[in-house]
Structure 1
Amino acid sequence: MFVVLALIIASVILLIFFKNWKIVLATMTIVIINVVWVLGLIEVFGYQITILTGILPPLIIVIVVENCIFLLNKYHSEIIKHGNKIKSLTRVVIFIGNANLLTNATTAAGFAAFIVTGNQVLIEFGVVASLSILMAYVLTLFLIPIFFSFLSPPHPKHTSHLDKGIVSRIVEKIVFIVQNYRTIIYVITVVFVLIGFYGISLLKTTGNIVDDIPHRDPLYKDLMFLEKHFKGVMPLEISIDTKKPRGVLKLSTIKRIDQLQEVLSGYPELSKPLSVAEVVKFAKQAFYGGNEAMYSLPNSQEKNFIMRYVPDAKSGKRTIINSFVDTSMQVTRISVQMANIGTNDIQRIKDELRPKIDSIFPPDKYNVTITGASVVFLKGTKYLIKNLLTSLILALIAISILMALLFTSARMIVISMTPNLLPQIMTAAMMGFLAISIKPSTILIFSIALGISVDNAIHFLSRYRLQLRLNEWNIKVSVINALRETGFSMVYSSVVLFFGFSIFTLSTFGGTEAMGYLIAFTLLIALLSNLFLLPSLLLTLDKRITTKKFSEPLLEIFDEEIDIELDELRIEGIDTRGSA
């Protein structure tokens, strides 16, 4: 469903912007080829379709369309300049190819950061996503020029979107605001940052086992019914090692188990505990003819003959005793069901129980372990959050290194990253205001969004550097020209990405739904930040950040002034008849 929706949304947006069915069909052809590549990579690596790898096809669709938009806008702008189709397509490859390489590399880095998490599902997601994005770059860079070399040059009405129209008026309005109201832009930015930090202070790191199951789903309703009437279904187990064979059958051990069960009964989040102590109590009640008043532990005189009624774990038959003890009668467990509470409450209960357990079961005589699905979920959540935070830091470092290839000036790297950290702050703030907790299904969006949001900054700054050469280091003229030139593609691509990720909000799985609206919000803020804040910073800081190093990149983007005049080239005929 998501793939179909992504194709429909991308096609409609492309048709609205470019007003040309040929562009839509060519782009959709490239998109379908890339989707096939994604599915092929999943099969080649022997991976399964999971919740995360299942969202890759629609995700790749919007990323491919973004690549195509930057290439097509450059193609149209070149056609407007000189009308030479082959020269235009060549310049598309030369001028946009390197910038697109870097934008796709940073996006891939955002996904590749999941490889270090240690979680197999996230590792598979990171591997396939990063390779698919790099393949998307290669395919778009090759296929766009190939397809359009066979088509006739675009009609003037198909390139009119660069000179007039809503987006053109929006870009000119942005240019006017950046030139005349930079102080207001900075004030608004500071206010948003302060609001952002306050929102971040409201964030909570927690999660529930069934958090991402939709509340309308029958499974969730059944779980809530069981929680209401039986205090939950999430297992919490307490394993007790007596360190001696048949140590479980000692009356002193059974009394300690019963004492711990009384402690557990004091927690409203927990159900009635079950253990070997309950089996012994039932045995005593059965001995006295089912008298309910005799449902208690036997005394020292009753123990010897009542314990004979307890089933033998070594009898070879599966009995109730096998559910609580091992065959040597050395290790036993207390089984409790826990309500659907958050990880913070699970940790609180675990921390409170430990000293009480140690007071009942001396550590020198007993090994007591708190385990069960609830505790495993707690530890797994902490582990994932820690590793996802690490992956976010690694993504930030990797993206900075990649940007250093294009912008060798450290100051320029800092300036380019600043507008793209603001969306991260605002997204975290929105999560705080809306009480959306930090958990594995929400924290992974930051690496993804960071890798995608820097694309606009890279395209803008690459054009800015080129404009500096063309305008003899006139910073003001270069900033405005770069903003006018890249503004269209930034708006077009961000609109596609926004609506492309918004389709995930239709998912019934909470994690996918959250990823949809959180990344869409992040990309919207990133667009505004790169359109207003980034050029404002360049104009204000002026020559203090635009140093000579900025014009000497490791990854070269060619200068239009030294570009070969391809319209003067001729195809030379070759005599293939051979000599007599």
Structure 2
Amino acid sequence: MSVKFQKAFGWTVDRRGIVWALLLCLTAIAAIGYLAPEMVWKLFEPAPAAVNEKQPSQQSTPRQAAPIVDVVSISDSEVILVIDSSQFFTVDGSQALKACVAALEELDYVESVLWVDEIPPLNIFGLRESFFPGVHASERQFEEAREAALAHPLVGGQLLSHDGETTLLMVKLNWFFVESDEAVTDGLRRAVKSALKNFPSNDFDVLVTGSVPMYLTFITSQEANRFKYQIIGYGMVLLMAVILFRGFRAVMIVAIAPTLGVFWTLGLVSYFDLQDNPFIDIVLPILLSMVGLTDGVHLMVEIRRQRASGLPEKQAAKRGIQKVGLACLLTSLTTAIGFGSLSMAHHRVIREFGWASVLGVIVTFIAVITSIPLACSTWLGKSIHHGHERGLIDRNLSRISVIIDFVLRHSRVVGILGIVITFAFTAISLTLRPDDRRTTGLPMKSEAARAIDHMDQAFGGLEMGFVEVTWKAEVPSDSPEVLKVVTEIDDTLRQEPLLGSPLSIRSFIDALPGDGDFEERMPLLELLPPPLKRAYYSPERRSAKIQFRVQDLGIAKYAPVFERVREECATIARNHPGFSVRLGGEPVRRWESLFQIVMDLVYSLGSASLIIFVVLSLAYRSLRLGLISIIPNIFPLAVTGVYLVVTGQTLEIVSVCAFTVCLGIAVDDTIHFLTRYEEERAELQASGGGSEREAIRRAFIGTGTALIMTTAVLVVGFATVMFSDMRDQRIFASMAGLTISAALFGDLVFLPALLSLFGNSDRSPDEPVDAGLDPEDGETTDAITSEPMSPATFDR
């Protein structure tokens, strides 16, 4: 590493005017992003393109349109009210249910409500009759009505649970009249509760879910967590810093950098319109605070040492940034590489988080190397070294140094053990399997999540998958073979217990009276009302659809199910020339994306690890050091992988994100240790004394305080997110805390052993080491001067 390159960092102290201008400029740009980012968007909006109208001869001939029919669909509602009761088929219960529907339909923003009594009759010539008898009906009549409702293919298992005790009200909204988010959740619930007041004897339990409530629940929880956990996290970090530094002024200066980094990043991210990303809104601010605080602590520890040695404020700040600046640059570079590898992911949330994190790391690095030296070089830096000798870690560093003494005495055993454990843990981590659930992005105790769980039990799931059958033009749409193919697929789906309530034209035809072969049953299709028939059969497009429900058990559990269904469908298609069969739907799409989750992790970790290895090898001009750094960087990730395996967790999107982010953070401690090791080795060689192991020991003492400080602060900061009600955020926080803790162990135990074992040592690993212990009283001493050792000793 070039001495001139290190000294170049002194410009942040020598050129204060430029630093002030840079800080003010970035702050102003970020402030505009918070207040009015559209001002910048308008500058880059392209001019509207001229409209070239086609000549009549160029216009394409319109395709023959299918008849306009308002089909009955149970999968396109925006809000679902899940009502649970054992009294639907009683006089009071049926009247209460009708009153609930009437109350909903009176709301101007409710376009329609699909429920049991809105289903058309199976026969086109039949009249619609209510499934609920009149108020004077007997219990027997209500029981017969219940059986009739359950026998209807679009009611039993679809709008009414098989036990008859849960029903669904499928609500479509008229968004023109929706005035607030609260209206489509609490407003609907209040309308139903108000109607139920007239029926006090009924025990209706009402839950609201669906695509809109789930989205609003996610956004509401995200907004609540965004500020709550940031305040808690920052408060805990500040408290930990005060305890560790034992100097209020030093804490406030260190806090400037992460504060500016978070402020700048969120302001700049606003220009890119990256909303509704839980990682950017909640995790990124805490993550950048930790990253900025890590480098800030290392820089402050060094500046305090320089002040304690007697240097004035400006010289101490300049000397501190020159000694630590290069390490901060390398840590920011490798962290950005780790985050940047997320940009290769196929999942939009991860890609956006990756790019935002790269931007955040860059501006946070700028904040660290400018604001902290600038503040320390002024009157604020006069007393920052006060309390230096009373720091919790500094006072106990001599006790902690027994670790390095033990490691250097047993470097061969410790080094080989580190390699073996890392490879063994990595092998165990590779057994992780990917998974995905709809409710992972929702608070586990939220109403929307509880409703989904109830629908899993009562209906076989909220999500819908389908199998689409298409046929060639030479196959008549009224061919009995169409019904035969649909029936074979329907039978296949019914053999899978995890697939709930398959629904197709076969279901409706079977519900009609009569029996016979497919040639005799196919004409019955013409008796079905168009709203029912065309929901699952479209002769103009030569297609038919078989729909089924999927529970939120984790999509990995459906992998063998979907594999079997797909294989059976392929067999059916081969047995019926002219027909094509396709398995589709949102659950199927998520299943197909599971492999991509694993590949995203492999690509991101692999590419990031390779690039980091190259960067470290070039930075230290040593392939040997680059190879040595692999173990302490992979070890913490392997530990976290084993934790996931032991606790029975799976590899989810948040896990992929956390692994890559943790790699970027874990390598920071390694870089600071290696940088200090290189400096100490150069100084020892220049002075003509000391050994390779003495350089390792000095690096341990020189960086130990900052490494332990930053790890403690980082773990406490991430631990605050563990109180979140969002499962994804708790997983991310637990993985980050465990990885950072394991990284400290790897860098203070395995890394020194590997440097001693495989570095350019001037003695064999088994040769006794002068650990710097005075034989008389065991006091830690400088191996060169035999004077009592303190961290400031190494700055002479």
Amino acid at match of 1:515: F
Q: Residue 506 of structure 1 aligns with which residue?
A: 723
Cα distance, 1:274 vs structure 2: 0.6
Cα distance, 1:190 vs structure 2: 5.8
Amino acid at match of 1:322: R
Q: Residue 290 of structure 1 aligns with which residue?
A: none
Q: Does 1:112 align with 2:328?
A: no
Cα distance, 1:217 vs structure 2: 2.8
CA contact (8 A) 2:503 2:547 kept: yes
User: Once structures 1 and 2 are overlaid, which stretch shifts more, 534-543 or 209-218?
Assistant: 209-218
Q: Does 1:51 align with 2:268?
A: no
SS of the residue corresponding to residue 324 of structure 2 reads: helix
The partner residue of 1:65 within 293, 297, 303 is 293
Pairs within 5 Å for 1:226-241: 226-241=455-470
Cα distance, 1:117 vs structure 2: 1.3
Q: Residue 409 of structure 2 aligns with which residue?
A: 180
The partner residue of 1:340 within 529, 552, 567 is 552
**Deviation sequence 1:357-405 (CA, Å, 0-9, x none):** 2343336311100011111111223223212321111111221222133
The partner residue of 1:144 within 355, 362, 372 is 372
The partner residue of 1:80 within 308, 326, 344 is 308
Instruction: Count residues with an aligned counterpart.
Output: 529
Q: Residue 316 of structure 1 aligns with which residue?
A: none
The partner residue of 1:543 within 752, 760, 783 is 760
Q: Residue 321 of structure 2 aligns with which residue?
A: 93
Q: Residue 529 of structure 2 aligns with which residue?
A: 311
Pairs within 5 Å for 1:232-311: 232-244=461-473, 247-282=476-511, 284-285=512-513, 294=514, 296=515, 300=519, 304=523, 306-311=524-529
Q: Give the direction of change, closer, same or farther, for the CA distance of 1:257–1:321 in structure 2 (3 Å limit).
A: same
Cα distance, 1:50 vs structure 2: 0.9
SS of the residue corresponding to residue 204 of structure 1 reads: coil
CA contact (8 A) 1:385 1:440 kept: no
Cα distance, 1:163 vs structure 2: 9.6
Q: Which runs of 5+ in 1 are unaligned?
A: 286-293, 313-318, 547-580
Q: Residue 543 of structure 2 aligns with which residue?
A: 331
Amino acid at match of 2:374: I
**Deviation sequence 1:4-45 (CA, Å, 0-9, x none):** 122101111110111122122223333322221121121112
SS of the residue corresponding to residue 388 of structure 2 reads: helix
Q: Which runs of 5+ in 2 are unaligned?
A: 1-227, 764-796
Q: Give the direction of change, closer, same or farther, for the CA distance of 1:16–1:125 in structure 2 (3 Å limit).
A: same
User: Once structures 1 and 2 are overlaid, which stretch shifts more, 465-474 or 71-80?
Assistant: 465-474
Q: Does 1:448 align with 2:676?
A: no
Q: Does 1:481 align with 2:693?
A: no
CA contact (8 A) 1:168 1:488 kept: yes
**Deviation sequence 1:511-553 (CA, Å, 0-9, x none):** 221111111101101101101111122122342699xxxxxxx
Q: Does 1:11 align with 2:238?
A: yes
Cα distance, 1:202 vs structure 2: 4.9
Q: Give the direction of change, closer, same or farther, for the CA distance of 1:184–1:12 in structure 2 (3 Å limit).
A: farther
CA contact (8 A) 2:250 2:384 kept: no
For the residues of structure 2 that align with 1:50 and 1:42, how far apart are their CA atoms?
Answer: 11
Cα distance, 1:224 vs structure 2: 1.9
The partner residue of 2:597 within 384, 391, 403 is 384
Cα distance, 1:249 vs structure 2: 2.9
CA contact (8 A) 1:237 1:336 kept: yes
CA contact (8 A) 2:501 2:548 kept: yes
CA contact (8 A) 2:422 2:631 kept: no
What TM-score does the superposition give when structure 2 sets the normalisation length?
Answer: 0.63
CA contact (8 A) 1:161 1:167 kept: no
Amino acid at match of 1:396: S
Q: Residue 621 of structure 2 aligns with which residue?
A: 408
The partner residue of 1:29 within 250, 253, 256 is 256
Cα distance, 1:170 vs structure 2: 4.4
Q: Residue 632 of structure 2 aligns with which residue?
A: 419
Q: Does 1:357 align with 2:569?
A: yes
Cα distance, 1:273 vs structure 2: 1.0
Amino acid at match of 1:432: V
For the residues of structure 1 that align with 2:567 and 2:392, how far apart are their CA atoms?
Answer: 73
Q: Residue 438 of structure 1 aligns with which residue?
A: 651
CA contact (8 A) 1:247 1:329 kept: no
**Deviation sequence 1:467-498 (CA, Å, 0-9, x none):** 11211173122111111111111111111111
Q: Give the direction of change, closer, same or farther, for the CA distance of 1:78–1:257 in structure 2 (3 Å limit).
A: same
Q: Percent identity?
A: 19
Cα distance, 1:449 vs structure 2: 0.9
Higher relative contact order (Cα pairs below 8 Å, separated by 6+ residues): 1
For the residues of structure 2 that align with 1:524 and 1:486, how far apart are their CA atoms?
Answer: 16
Indicate the structure (1 or 2) with the bigger Cα radius of gyration. 2
Q: Give the direction of change, closer, same or farther, for the CA distance of 1:542–1:345 in structure 2 (3 Å limit).
A: closer
CA contact (8 A) 2:654 2:732 kept: yes
CA contact (8 A) 2:415 2:757 kept: no
**Deviation sequence 1:191-227 (CA, Å, 0-9, x none):** 7447625643653333334345444332222222111
For the residues of structure 2 that align with 1:439 and 1:393, how far apart are their CA atoms?
Answer: 18
What TM-score does the superposition give when structure 1 sets the normalisation length?
Answer: 0.85
SS of the residue corresponding to residue 746 of structure 2 reads: helix
